[in-house]
Amino acid sequence: MNLDKLARIDLNLLVILQVLIEEQSVTRAANRLNLSQSALSKSLNRLRDTLEDPLFQRTSHGLKPTAHALALAKMLPSVLQDLYQITQPPTFIPETSHRKFSFSMVESAYETLIPSFIGSLLNQAPDIQLDSYLWTGQSFNDLQHGQIDFGIAGRDLHPQSEFSVGKLPEGIEHQTLFRDKQVCLVQNDHPILKVIEDAGWTLDHYLALSHVQVRCEGKEWWALDYYLADLGHHRKINATVPDFYGAASVCAHTNLIFTLPSSFASHALKLYPLTQLPLPFEFMPMAYVLLWHERNNQDKGHQWIRETICQSIQQAGLPYQPASSS
């Protein structure tokens, strides 16, 4: 390591480079860093001189990273995280900490999980800041690049599923919070209830109905749909909506059937005139999992957050299912 050369580099430029890579826009990066565009442009020129690469090309759609910038983008989050850790005290004291932690969570977790742990976190650490965002198809990438600290998402427990906990992206660790299963909701006067009373509840009845679906992680198919497709079956999905409450409302005002995790169904039943039904066939269980990047394994603050969340969920009486981190 050439420490003399490193001593001549302004490490703040690495932060600027990371934000430029994320935003790919001088205007957005300057706003985010509270700098003028002129100051940011000067920093970009210094970066180019230091790294001996143009780093970005201007296009009509913003800044396009060069091959070297894309290579740096893979290393920078870990480098910056290590630098950040150097600046932190060796211990984490919840009572006096002012740290900020960010979460990305599936919508159903906001109703079923946050109430069980947010009070415990803030009671013990009243000055920390907890920022949360909706889980999307981009969230795994955000975890890998250090843009969020934690994720809470639903994963299947069957090892062959494309959405299983065993097929997480590189560097992502997980802890199972609790298991859940899929159930169905229909409006209270749905014609299928009379059919079930007379003839029972079968897969054929389920497939003959029209369905409302929640778009999860940007996908219109769930693991359930891939499972049925492997058996040669397909659901008739007449409506796709972005959130669970919206789907429950649609279900309550139509003859559409809604398939969803049982933990969220219990909340929907309190708000809408709905009847819960079991799935009329065997299907793999799912799990809500806490996700983080391995670079944060030894971070005392992260360790405290993870332990507090798991303990709080266990104390809340949810079907807690501890599992070794992957």
pLDDT for residue 42: 93
Determine contact, residues 101/301, Cβ cutoff 8 Å.
yes
Going by pLDDT thresholds of 50, 70 and 90, the confidence category of residue 136 is confident
Considering the domain architecture, whether residues 139 and 170 belong to the same structural domain is answered as: yes
Q: Does residue 316 surpass a pLDDT of 70?
A: yes
Considering the domain architecture, whether residues 148 and 209 belong to the same structural domain is answered as: no
pLDDT for residue 320: 39
Q: Does residue 45 surpass a pLDDT of 80?
A: yes
Residue 326 within a domain: no
pLDDT for residue 318: 64
Q: Does residue 321 surpass a pLDDT of 50?
A: no
In percent, how much of the chain has pLDDT > 70? 91
Residue 242 within a domain: yes
Q: Does residue 254 surpass a pLDDT of 80?
A: yes
Q: What angle do CA 284, 287, 292 make, to 5 degrees?
A: 140
What tokens appear for 245 in the block? 């409450």
Q: Which domain holds residue 52?
A: 3-87
Considering the domain architecture, whether residues 39 and 63 belong to the same structural domain is answered as: yes
Separation of alpha carbons 158 and 88, rounded Å: 40
Among 85, 99, 84, which residue's Cα sits nearest to residue 18?
84
Q: What is the 3-state secondary structure (H, E, C) of the chain?
A: CCHHHHHCCCCHHHHHHHHHHHHCCHHHHHHHHCCCHHHHHHHHHHHHHHHCCCCEEEECCEEEECHHHHHHHHHHHHHHHHHHHHHCCCCCCHHHCCCEEEEEECHHHHHHCHHHHHHHHHHHCCCCEEEEEECCCCHHHHHHCCCCCEEEEEEECCCCCCCEHHHCCCCEEEEEEEEECEEEEEECCCHHHHHHHHHCCCHHHHHHCEEEEECECCECCCHHHHHHHHCCCCCEEEEEECCHHHHHHHHHCCCCEEEEEHHHHHHHHHHCCEEEEECCCCCCCEEEEEEEEHHHCCCHHHHHHHHHHHHHHHHCCCCECCCCCC
Residue 208 within a domain: yes
> Higher model confidence: residue 55 or residue 87?
55
pLDDT for residue 24: 92
Judging by beta carbons within 10 Å of its beta carbon (0-12, 13-18, 19+), is residue 293 exposed, middle or buried? buried
Separation of alpha carbons 269 and 251, rounded Å: 11
Question: Mean per-residue pLDDT for 100-126?
Answer: 92
Going by pLDDT thresholds of 50, 70 and 90, the confidence category of residue 322 is very low
Among 313, 291, 224, 218, which residue's Cα sits nearest to residue 261?
224
pLDDT for residue 227: 87
Each residue of 64-85: pLDDT tens digit? 999 999 999 988 888 887 787 7
Considering the domain architecture, whether residues 166 and 291 belong to the same structural domain is answered as: yes
Each residue of 213-253: pLDDT tens digit? 998 766 777 788 888 998 999 999 999 998 899 999 999 99
pLDDT for residue 274: 98
The number of domains in the chain is 3
State the CATH number of the domain containing residue 162: 3.40.190.10
Considering the domain architecture, whether residues 49 and 194 belong to the same structural domain is answered as: no
Q: Does residue 166 surpass a pLDDT of 80?
A: no
Among 108, 106, 104, which residue's Cα sits nearest to residue 262?
108
pLDDT for residue 221: 79
> Higher model confidence: residue 118 or residue 89?
118
Residue 320 within a domain: no
Residue 32 within a domain: yes
Mean pLDDT (the chain) is 88
- Residue 139's CB: how many other CB atoms inside 10 A? 23
Residue where one domain finishes, among candidates 29, 56, 87: 87
Each residue of 278-303: pLDDT tens digit? 999 999 888 889 999 998 998 999 99
What tokens appear for 238 in the block? 């007449």
* pTM score over 0.75: no
- Strand pairing partners for 56? 65
Considering the domain architecture, whether residues 151 and 292 belong to the same structural domain is answered as: yes
pLDDT for residue 159: 54
Considering the domain architecture, whether residues 194 and 59 belong to the same structural domain is answered as: no
Which amino acid type is present at position 14?
Answer: L
State the CATH number of the domain containing residue 50: 1.10.10.10
Question: Mean per-residue pLDDT for 131-138?
Answer: 89
